Amino acid sequence: MSGGNSGGAASRDGDWDKLTPAARIVAGGLSILPERSAARRNEAPIGCRAQYHPCMFLVTGANGELGLRLLRSLANREVAARAAVRSEKALKRVETTLGQLVDTRIVDYRDPDSLARAMEGCSAVIHLVGTIRGTKRHPYERSHEDVVDALIRAALQTGSPRIVQASIFGADPDSTNGCLASRGRCDHTLLASAPQSVVLRAPMVLSPGGPAARALYARASGRSLWLGSGEALEQPLDARDFVDAAISATACESTGGFDLVGPECLSYRELVQRAASLLATRPQPLRVPSALALGLAGLASRLLPDPPVTRDMLALFLHDDCGDPEPAVKALGIKLRDLNDTLRFSLGRLASEA
């Protein structure tokens, strides 16, 4: 692997010069590297094409929890980044959180020309746009397939930078779940059209303030609604590991799709109990039968053009997430954090705010 192996050797200023630009990025997050002089930072690194800013990254969906964390990590590694968002509100969130650390652009994700303008000069794109809620008014195709089609067209206009796409564990074009099928079609289209791309299929991702962490904290801390029995399998991933993997994927020799899952598979009930043990709290579940919830959500989807909850959404929460992390770990040269460390990281701030 060009990224992981090179990073460990880059302990002296001379070693830094031997790294490819992409390997420098990965190494910046995996080892302590020398401070580069202002003159050397302005050099075009060997291997970067002339039309590219030296290793500029574009991050789409940048205003989300993962997008902001990724941008902050890139800034800490002194990697130039550009943030793509869809609205003025989203732009203000990025600027309020990160200040002038990144160049933020409002784009139309379904317009190849709009995406191409944001992509201009970038050597890699980390694509985080997606949704788990598809409705008659906002179908999955508009949020997923149309966006990926525009992304591929934009990449062809701008020199085909490497694309790293975030997907969902279980994504499959043949799935009976509308969301998983839509994401599966996107993954297939991207890898067929841009073979140098990487798809990271992630399960529940835990980060401080993220929706999954907030839901887990609520269920671990007292009385809360539970969908079904809590026996669905989960393999939660630390948001910091996702960020490391996404950055590494821009540089590694491996391409294709990877299941980027956490180190431990357990039922949601066991996960809540593990969180409660760390928080010194006692869960008090108010269980909603899954058949009843799915039936009501299905009825709402038939009657309403834009229901807040859909059957496909709920089915995702009941879907078993259990995979082998080793292929992704080896291909991307990353190390996964222990689940207890992830829980302390993701729930600690919520506990301090309570």
Q: What is the mean pLDDT of residues 9-18?
A: 35
29 vs 69, more confident? 69
Dihedral sign of CA atoms 247, 253, 259, 264 in order: negative
**Angle 230-309-185 from CA coordinates, rounded to 5°:** 90
Residue 14's pLDDT band, with cuts at 50, 70 and 90, is very low
CA angle 110, 112, 116 (to 5 degrees): 125
The pLDDT, as a whole number, for residue 16 is 32
Contact 66, 166 (CB under 8 A): yes
* Mean pLDDT on 81-102: 94
Q: What does the pLDDT read at residue 47?
A: 31
Average pLDDT of the chain is 86
Instruction: Check residue 354 and give its pLDDT.
Output: 67
Query: What pLDDT score was predicted for residue 329?
Result: 97
Q: Which residue has the higher pLDDT, 124 or 351?
A: 124
- Tens of pLDDT, residues 228-247: 999 999 999 999 999 999 99
Mean pLDDT over 327-345 rounds to: 96
Is pLDDT above 80 for 204? yes
Instruction: Residue 248: name the closest of 306, 171, 334 by CA.
Output: 334
Higher per-residue confidence, 27 vs 94 = 94
Quick count: other Cβ atoms within 10 Å of Cβ 207? 22
Q: Are 166 and 200 in contact (CB under 8 A)?
A: yes
Percentage of residues in the chain having pLDDT higher than 90: 79
Lowest mean pLDDT among 28-32, 57-61, 190-194, 262-266: 28-32
> 48-353 — its CATH code?
3.40.50.720
Confidence of residue 55 (pLDDT cuts 50, 70, 90): confident
Buried b / exposed e over 121-155, threshold 16 CB at 10 Å, is bbbbbbbbbbbbbbbeeeebeebbbbbbbbbbbbb
Give the separation between CA 66 and CA 247, rounded to whole angstroms. 12
3-7, 220-224, 242-246, 307-311: least confident range? 3-7
Task: Give yes or no for residue 23 having a pLDDT over 70.
Answer: no
What's the confidence (pLDDT) of residue 353?
79
How confident is residue 45, by pLDDT bands cut at 50, 70 and 90? very low
What percent of the chain shows pLDDT beyond 70?
84
CA distance 251 to 303: 47
